[in-house]
Amino acid sequence: HYEVDHTDAQRMRQGSAQLDPFARTATNRVDDDPFSRHYESQFVNCDIRTFPMQTLGKFPVIMADPPWDIHMELPYGTMSDDEMRRMNVQVLQDDGVLFLWVTGRAMELGRECLEIWGYRFVQELLWVKTNQLQRIIRTGRTGHWINHSKEHCLIGVKGDLDDRFNQNLDCDVICAEVRETSRKPDEMYDLLERLAPGQRKLELFGRPHNVHKGWTTL
């Protein structure tokens, strides 16, 4: 759904403006800066395994934090390996980048899913977990042999990454405080906004506390 005012309609008839099908209000003004524009935040509470992904349209940036089955007791439900492989993520992007959080045994499965969904693995981002004193967490609840003090985020690309993306702007390590279970650092959203200013962004497997301006959260 979108709305266009009279001035925008006239400019589009004259061929001097392009219609933005993803904006809820008209943004096709001469003085409009697309890099300062944000889409409204949206939260969709659904069963992501059966949700018709194709109804959402396309997103240049996607971040996903799946409930991997890492063969440990966790305070939330998980998805089987085959359920993850069957996720219809590929319909959400033609050209873009996917940030996929993984941990433990899911690291290899995550790379396999990227390939199944049509992505090329290019890099890995690391979140070093700290406490309120900004010291590294040493008593994490996960880890089969030694405690995990970090999480990995696989980066996959698909199609053509044009000049909408600011590559080589940030580094591949984030040091940030641990908060609620599965909640990722806010610094991640800032990083992705710098990567793709003003672009549509989607977070899969999000919770209400994950909602951010400019993001659609499932």
pLDDT digits (tens, 9 = 90+) for 115-130: 999 999 999 999 999 9
pLDDT of 141 above 80:
no
Q: In which band, very low, low, confident or very high, does the pLDDT at 9 lie, cut at 50, 70 and 90?
A: low
pLDDT of 163 above 50:
yes
Tally of residues, the chain: 218
Provide the token pair at 58. 């396309």
Which pTM does this prediction carry? 0.78
Task: Please answer whether residues 209 and 185 qualify as being in contact, where contact means their C-beta atoms are separated by less than 8 angstroms.
Answer: no
**Higher pLDDT among residues 96 and 169, named by residue:** 96
- Cα atoms found within 13 Å of the Cα of residue 193, Cβ hemisphere only: 16
**Higher pLDDT among residues 162 and 9, named by residue:** 162
Q: In which band, very low, low, confident or very high, does the pLDDT at 74 lie, cut at 50, 70 and 90?
A: low
Residues 6+ apart with CB under 8 A from 17: 8, 11, 28
pLDDT of 111 above 90:
yes
Task: Please answer whether residues 62 and 98 qualify as being in contact, where contact means their C-beta atoms are separated by less than 8 angstroms.
Answer: yes
What's the CA gap between 39 and 36, in Å, rounded? Answer: 10
Mean pLDDT on 71-99:
88
Mean pLDDT on 103-114:
91
What's the CA gap between 105 and 69, in Å, rounded? Answer: 8
State pLDDT tens for residues 32-63.
554 455 567 899 999 999 999 999 999 999 99
Task: Please answer whether residues 149 and 99 qualify as being in contact, where contact means their C-beta atoms are separated by less than 8 angstroms.
Answer: no
pLDDT of residue 38: 57
pLDDT of residue 148: 76
Burial of 59 (0-12, 13-18, 19+ CB in 10 A): buried
State pLDDT tens for residues 194-203.
999 989 999 9
pLDDT of residue 65: 94
pLDDT of residue 140: 56
Q: In which band, very low, low, confident or very high, does the pLDDT at 71 lie, cut at 50, 70 and 90?
A: low
What's the CA gap between 100 and 92, in Å, rounded? Answer: 14
State pLDDT tens for residues 170-194.
999 999 998 877 789 999 999 999 9
